[in-house]
Amino acid sequence: MTATETSVRWTTICPLERLLPERGVAALVGDVQVALFRLHDGSVHAVGNVDPFSGAAVMSRGIVGDRGGVPTVASPVYKQAFSLVDGRCLDDADVSLPSYPVRVEDGQLDVGLPW
Amino acid sequence: MLELVVIGNGMVGHRLVQALCDRDSAGEWHITVLGEEARPAYDRVALSSYVDGVSAEDLTLPSLTVDLHLGDPAVAVDRDARRVTTESGRVLPYDALVLATGSVPFVPPVPGRDLPGCFVYRTLDDLDAIRAAAAEAVARPGAGRRSAVVVGGGLLGLEAARALRSLGLSPQVVEIAPRLMPVQVDEGGGALLRRLVESAELAVRCGVSVNGIAEDRGRLVATLSDGVELDADLVVFSAGIRPADALARAAGLPVGERGGVLVDERCRTSDEHVWAIGEVAALEGRTYGLVAPGYAMAEVVADRLLGGRATMTPEELDMSTQLKMLGVDVASFGDAQATTPGALEVVVNDPVAGTYAKLVVSDDARTLLGGVLVGDASKYAALRPLVGSPLPADPVAMIAPGGVELGADALPDSAQICSCNAVTKGAVVHAIGDGADTVPALKACTRAGTSCGSCVPLLKKLLVDSGVQVSKALCEHFAFSRAELFEIVASTGIRTFSGLVDEHGTGRGCDICKPAVASILASLGTGHVHDGEQAALQDTNDHFLANLQRNGTYSVVPRLPGGEVSPEQLIIIGEVARDFGLYTKITGGQRIDMFGARVEQLPAIWRRLVDAGFESGHAYGKSLRTVKSCVGTTWCRYGVQDSVGLAVALELRYRGLRAPHKFKSGVSGCARECAEARSKDFGIIATDQGWNLYVGGNGGFTPRHAELLASDLDTATLVRYIDRYLMFYIRTADRLQRTAPWIESLEGGLDHLRAVVVEDSLGIAADLEAAMEQHVGSYADEWRGVLEDEEKLARFVSFVNAPDTPDPLVRTREERGQRVPVALGLPGVGA
């Protein structure tokens, strides 16, 4: 995390409690749409909200789960699964979502976008 | 590298190239294909489906990596110089030349055959021309139905007649032979075929020919050999085909007595560098007008070009045919006409049931030679591969209703399971042994079942017979089928996904098992679909109680029970759509759909609708969609029961009921069937005695008519039967399994279902009814449930940190006076 911490700008999004376990929310940071997920084990992940296959900003509305132990979100449009850890698409090696660092401070959820 | 030129880009030419590409791993051949039509190769066998709305793209065969020149036919072959010249002047040298030019329609030399309005039935372009002429005829002013004459009552003629019928014309079929399909079907089968075809409102005249066609006041008149004159808006010739062998003749290649390039058992012509396959080839002087023999020839030539030693004989060519047209099953296989010396014929003819079956067996009654099936061809898949093999049972018992069931184990290894692709039982069993444990896996490694699909049931049987445990696991998280999970949930009292996956599964679920479990929980009546942990299980539609559209917005559909709507309600829907800028459209299921709502707009839209008395139409869920209705006795002059009243009552009874798949219903007030109830999962048609209940119909990818479950029911009994039927389906069907395949999957099929629903053969009817009563009693509108719950409402925001900011990617433009989405450009992919 230290390597990225120096190169990102943190933005506070909302209280962590606002996120239902295993369900996403969308956030707008400048003109970047981010999809944020809180998992069953309490961890939080952020990836791009725009589905690369349909172009619609809907990733935050996908179903969260796992594939072979990797936490995933499935696009609600055409159902491809994406890793919540690094954003790569598990159904198409050529496609991935941007992924962003997240942190929780004083119960507030922050997402880091590159400078 | 050697040069191969293939003249002809039809199904057989395409198959040759595919087979060669598949096997030429050394890259020995460079292939050039010349096509006369400007289109890529397409499935001509399915040509008629083009009229039913299947697109040219859907019919297109997979593209192959070759030099393909479309719309540029070969015009000359110089065999000495080994060169082909094309219409555009291309000169192509070859080491091997394959003629796959197919055939041309035969048009009998009658006067007037070239008049405008006369067509042949061979290519997509022909069908486009026929469709345009039919549309023009239908649009022409004047009384009465527009009509057509089809010359030829063979396979293609009947297909053409059916196509003309679906284009809105009344076709008359004229066949010179004394019966329909004279090549494939014998006299007895032809008689029944004619009766079945005529009951589908198709006029047939056998034993007469067309003497001439004349123009008369803008229409056509066909004069028949018996003096009868038929008026027609168009005439379609489908009186057989002739090999397209002109190029070969010009090149000096020997042809058969009845045309077709003479080839030997290797499909080679008299020139060792020239081969011929498909309908242009005459093997031992005989040509073949079906695709399966053409495919077999293509395989032989592909093998030979790569140094193999494959051969073929006419006896090995499969001349079997199966088709369903105008709702009539017809199949013919092997020596259907009993031409083998001493052949015996065994016939079971049931004119009451409308079935005719004949087996042709050898003189010692030990070997099956062929057969004909009309009216019910369900035994085709099991009988056809047995041709040439010892009879496994008494021939009468093999075709008698309720006779012996032919298992796949009765087939010898050499029996062809898939005749389209010449795949034997041995090859399939071998592939199963190598680990192919599903039908798709078998298709991929043997190509069986990939063409007409009639052998797929047999593939399934072989899998089961081989003892393959076909996995029922829902996904990687549950080793159970949906029906098993339903039983686990129902009997253990577990009511959360976490509890279920902890005790009976692994991991944290996925987009397959989570919605399935959500549906099971909803069917068992566990409150609002967003309560507690259930919220995280729902697919986006059930999460936002609206239908996700391609640009990320949603559509909103209020319930209009039975399609009934008051003027006041119409005004409110109009006002809501206007105020929120929504696109409105009447759906296929008698609803009004409002498109283009953003997530953050949904609660405000619902508020207006709910206040006006509307409820969610569940257009989003795997649940009851609509109960369509016609006008019924209230207004209709012909109605015999109140279809609207029943449709409203049924829609309200089953509203919100979650099922393995979405399901629909319809109620028609009389046999005219204006509600199209027989295309529904359950459909009801009024009789003057009560109601007939049909089950298992659907539209979608594989449309199907519903079948009669019970007749002349009073309303209370009808509702009881539907309760049982739906609950039995919900409990036992697979995930996303529609009612039709579910009924097929039941051991005993429709008869078993009838026993369970009508006779209560399992003794569970009371339980099923009680479960339905519980659903009916606990129903609450889901939209209202959200509006009354602040916590749930808080989820309906565009952005958690900017709740009312619209998604900037959603843009609209105007089309025909309404707002529609601007197509989304795909974003750059990558991190």
Q: Does pLDDT of A6 surpass 60?
A: no
CB B43 within 8 A of CB B76: no
Rounded to a whole number, what is the distance in Å from the CA of A40 to chain B's nearest CA?
A: 8
B425-433 and B439-446 helices, crossing angle to 10°: 110
Find the mean pLDDT for residues B651-656: 96
Distance CA B356, CA B371 (A): 11
Q: Is the CB of A66 less than 8 angstroms away from the CB of B507?
A: yes
Tokens 């079907």 — which residue? B185
CATH among 1.10.287.3510, 3.40.50.300, 1.10.540.10, 1.10.10.1100 for B407-469: 1.10.10.1100
pLDDT recorded at residue B454 = 65
Q: Please report which residue ranges of B529-601 form alpha helices under DSSP H.
A: 540-544, 567-580
Tens of pLDDT, residue by residue over B559-613, are: 999 999 999 999 999 999 999 999 999 998 899 999 999 999 999 999 999 999 9
Cα separation, B241 vs B410, in Å, equals: 37
Mean pLDDT score of chain A, rounded to an integer? 90
Task: Report DSSP state, residue B478.
Answer: B
Answer whether B106-242 and B627-795 agree in fold.
no
B184-229 per-position pLDDT tens digit:
788 888 888 888 888 777 889 999 999 999 998 888 999 999 999 9
CB contact under 8 A, A23 and B508: no
Give the A window 49-108 contacts with B, CB below 8 Å. Answer: 50, 52-58, 61-69, 71-72, 74, 76-77, 79, 81, 86-87, 94-99
Helix (H, G, I), strand (E, B) or coil at B714: coil
Q: How confident is the model at residue B35 (pLDDT cuts 50, 70, 90)?
A: very high
B5 vs B98: CA distance, rounded Å: 6
Q: What is the pLDDT of residues B684-717, one digit of tens each?
A: 999 999 999 999 998 776 678 999 999 999 999 9
Q: What is the pLDDT of residues B755-801, one digit of tens each?
A: 999 999 999 999 999 999 999 999 999 999 999 999 899 999 999 99
| Chain B residues lying within 8 Å of A26, measured CB to CB | 798-800
3 state SS of B451 = coil
- Give the closest residue to B653 by CA, choosing from B776, B759, B770: B776
Predicted confidence at residue B355, as pLDDT, reads 86
pLDDT confidence tier of residue B830, bands split at 50, 70 and 90: very low
Give the B-side interface with A, CB within 8 Å. Answer: 476-477, 498, 507-511, 513-515, 533, 535-540, 543-544, 548, 550-552, 794-795, 797-802, 805, 807-810, 824-827, 829-831
* pLDDT greater than 70 at residue B316: no
Confidence of residue B343 (pLDDT cuts 50, 70, 90): confident
- Cβ atoms < 10 Å from Cβ of B63: 10
Q: Residue B351: its pLDDT value, please?
A: 78
Taking CA atoms, what residue in A is nearest to B511?
A63
Identify how many contiguous H helices and E strands chain A contains and give both numbers. 1, 10
Give residue-wise pLDDT tens across range B226-265.
999 999 999 999 988 899 999 999 999 999 988 999 999 9
Among B26-30, B51-55, B99-103, B168-172, whose mean pLDDT is lowest?
A: B51-55
- Sorted by sequence, the CB contacts under 8 Å of residue B315 that are 6+ apart come out as none
- B513 has binding-site annotation: no
Helical axes B715-732 vs B749-758, angle rounded to 10°: 120
**CATH class for domain B2-102+244-316?**
alpha beta
Do A56 and B824 form a contact (C-beta atoms < 8 A)? Answer: yes
Torsion B19-B21-B27-B29 (CA) sign? positive
* Nearest C-alpha neighbor of A102 from the set A39, A30, A31, A20: A39
Distance between CA atoms of B581 and B566, rounded to whole angstroms? Answer: 22
Alpha-carbon distance of B454 to B468, in angstroms, equals: 21
Q: Which amino acid is at B157?
A: G
| Shortest CA distance from A12: residue in chain B | B801
Give me the residue from A13, A94, A99 closest to B801, CB to CB: A13
User: Sheet harboring B368-374: ordered strands across?
Assistant: B321-325, B328-334, B368-374, B355-361, B344-350
Kindly state whether A24 is in contact with chain B, defined as any CB-CB distance less than 8 angstroms.
no
Q: Contact A55/B540, CB-based, under 8 Å?
A: no
A61 contacts B540? CB cut-off 8 A: yes
Q: Which of the four CATH numbers 3.65.10.10, 3.40.80.10, 3.50.50.60, 3.20.20.70 does domain B106-242 have?
A: 3.50.50.60
Q: Most B CBs within 10 Å: which of A13, A22, A67, A86, as the mutation test of the B interface?
A: A22
pLDDT at residue B325, as a whole number? 60
Q: Is A8 on the interface with B (CB under 8 A)?
A: no
- Give the pLDDT score at B825: 56
Measure the CA–CA gap between B470 and B701, rounded to whole angstroms.
Answer: 24
Q: How many CB atoms lie within 10 A of CB B161?
A: 30
List CB contacts (< 8 A) between A33 and chain B. Answer: 799, 807, 809
B277 pLDDT more than 60 = yes
% of chain B residues with pLDDT over 90: 54
Query: Under a CB-based contact definition with an 8 Å cutoff, are residues A77 and A64 in contact?
Result: no
Stretch among A1-5, B273-277, B513-517 having the lowest mean pLDDT:
A1-5
* B510–A40 C-beta distance less than 8 A: no
Write down the H helix ranges in B497-566. 497-504, 513-523, 540-544
DSSP B587-627: -TTS-EEEEEE-GGGHHHHHHHHHHTT--B--TTSSBEEEE
Tell whether A47 lies on the interface with B, counting CB pairs under 8 A.
no
Q: pLDDT band at B399, cuts 50/70/90?
A: confident
The stretch B409-430 carries a mean pLDDT of 79
* Helix (H), strand (E) at residue B83: strand B83-86
Bridge partner residues of B235 (DSSP): B118, B149
Is the CATH number of domain B547-621+796-826 3.90.480.10?
yes
Q: What ipTM is given for this predicted complex? A: 0.93
Distance of alpha carbon B89 from alpha carbon B627, whole angstroms: 62
- How confident is residue B367, by pLDDT bands cut at 50, 70 and 90? confident
In sequence order, what are the beta bridge partners of B67? B32
Q: Kindly list the domain boundaries of chain B, sorted by start residue.
A: 2-102+244-316, 106-242, 407-469, 482-538, 547-621+796-826, 627-795
The DSSP H or E segment spanning B84 is strand B83-86
Confidence at B729, pLDDT banded by 50, 70, 90: very high
Give CA–CA dist B183/B596, Å, rounded.
57
pLDDT for the residue B59? 86
Q: Give the single-character DSSP code of B404.
A: P
Fill in the amino acid letter for A110.
Answer: D
Mutate to test the interface with B, among A58, A79, A89, A109 (most CBs of B within 10 A): A58
Q: What is the DSSP string of B676-703?
A: -GGGSSEEEEEETTEEEEEES-B-SSS-
| Among chain A residues, CA nearest to B530 | A20
* Cβ–Cβ gap B536/A23 under 8 Å: yes
The model's confidence at residue A2, banded by pLDDT at 50, 70 and 90, is: very low
Task: List B707's β-bridge partners, or say none.
Answer: B695
- Say yes or no for a CB contact (<8 Å) between A56 and B509: no
- Across the interface, of A26, A52, A77, the residue whose CB is closest to B827 is A52
Question: Domain B627-795 is in which class?
Answer: alpha beta
| CA-based nearest residue in chain B for residue A55 | B826
- Bridge partner residues of B109 (DSSP): none
The pLDDT of residue B831: 33
3-class DSSP string for B330-346: EEEEECCCCCCCCCEEE
Question: Could you tell me how many helices (H) and strands (E) chain B has, helices first?
Answer: 25, 38
Tell me the C-alpha distance between B793 and B787, whole Å: 6
CA-to-CA distance for A71 and A82, rounded, in angstroms?
8
All domains of chain A, ordered by start, with CATH? 21-98 (2.102.10.10)
Q: What is the CA radius of gyration of chain A?
A: 13
A102: pLDDT strictly greater than 50: yes
- The predicted pLDDT at position B212 comes to 93
- Residue closest to B667 by CA, chosen among B592, B589, B562: B562
Cβ pair B12, B278 in contact under 8 A: yes
Distance of residue B463 Cα from the nearest chain A Cα, in angstroms: 28
Please report which confidence band the pLDDT of residue B326 belongs to, taking 50, 70 and 90 as the band edges.
low
Cβ neighbours, 10 Å, residue B82: 18
Q: Which chain B residues touch A79 with a CB distance below 8 Å?
A: 511
A39 and chain B in contact, CB less than 8 A: yes
Helix H or strand E segment including B350: strand B344-350
Angle separating helix axes B602-611 and B567-580, nearest 10 degrees: 160
Phi, psi for residue B100 in degrees, rounded to 5: -130, 50
Tally A–B CB contacts below 8 A: 125
The pLDDT mean for chain B works out to 88
- Residues in A closer than 8 angstroms to B544, CB to CB, are 61
Q: Render pLDDT for B440-472 as a digit per residue (tens, 0 to 9).
A: 778 778 878 766 666 777 787 788 877 776 667
Structure token digits, residue B317: 């060519």
Among B356, B423, B424, smallest CA distance to B389 is for B424
Is residue B669 scored above 50 in pLDDT? yes
CA distances from B368 to B384, B386, B415, B470 (A): 9, 7, 12, 33
